[in-house]
């Protein structure tokens, strides 16, 4: 018996075993592979498998029965996957930037409302009904805008991070998507 410690094979990336190429795509979409929507189950499985991977680039190996292998389809599928990952990475980056911009605008509006309320309070408001009403209106609006804006900048934008991280990992996958037989 060998005294060497048992070493198991741990791939550097993600390996998925599929029954056919169609398992990658939505069953409702009948367009060619170059245009077809990806299967939610397929994407969820890749996301789940990529969670414990580092921030580096991920290799994706798709195992297909040898009798079904078709190099031309694999090239098309590889390009479709890479395009999907790049597109969604860009969409999520824009969405995160938009959320942060809205949050900063809300914070700025909250500060403007606070300044306006402070200015109204600095006047003699006991005799001026309009200024009193303005203070009553501006103070809660200012606090709402300030806190909601901070929530957008800090928490809402942060909620996009897991999805953004996944697409960042997969964005340059074109050279690291492999098909192998089983």
Confidence of residue 58 (pLDDT cuts 50, 70, 90): confident
Confidence of residue 41 (pLDDT cuts 50, 70, 90): very high
Q: Looking at residues 80-102, what average pLDDT do you find?
A: 95
The structural domains of the chain, with segments of one domain joined by +, span 14-181
Say what the pTM is: 0.77
Would you say residue 3 has pLDDT above 90?
Answer: no
Token pair 């009553």 is at which residue?
136
Would you say residue 139 has pLDDT above 80?
Answer: yes
Half-sphere exposure of 144 (CA within 13 A, CB side): 5
Q: What secondary structure letter does DSSP report for 169?
A: H
Confidence of residue 150 (pLDDT cuts 50, 70, 90): very high
pLDDT tens for 113-125 read 999 888 888 776 6
Token pair 């953004």 is at which residue?
164
């Amino acid at each position: 018996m060998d005294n060497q410690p048992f070493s198991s094979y741990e791939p550097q990336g993600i390996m998925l075993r599929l029954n056919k190429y169609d398992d990658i795509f939505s069953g409702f979409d009948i367009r060619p592979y170059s245009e077809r929507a990806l299967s939610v189950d397929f994407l969820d499985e890749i996301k789940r498998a990529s969670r414990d991977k580092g921030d580096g680039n991920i290799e994706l190996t798709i195992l297909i029965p040898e009798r079904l292998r078709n190099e031309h389809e694999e090239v098309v599928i590889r390009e479709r996957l890479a395009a999907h990952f790049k597109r969604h990475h860009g969409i999520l980056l824009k969405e995160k930037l938009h959320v942060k911009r809205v949050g900063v605008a809300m914070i700025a509006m909250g500060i403007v409302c606070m300044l306006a309320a402070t200015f109204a309070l600095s006047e003699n408001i006991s005799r001026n009904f309009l200024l009193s009403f303005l203070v009553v209106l501006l103070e809660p609006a200012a606090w709402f805008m300030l806190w909601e804006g901070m929530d957008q900048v800090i928490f809402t934008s942060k909620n996009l991070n897991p999805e953004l991280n996944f697409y960042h990992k997969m964005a340059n996958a074109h050279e690291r998507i492999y098909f192998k037989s089983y």
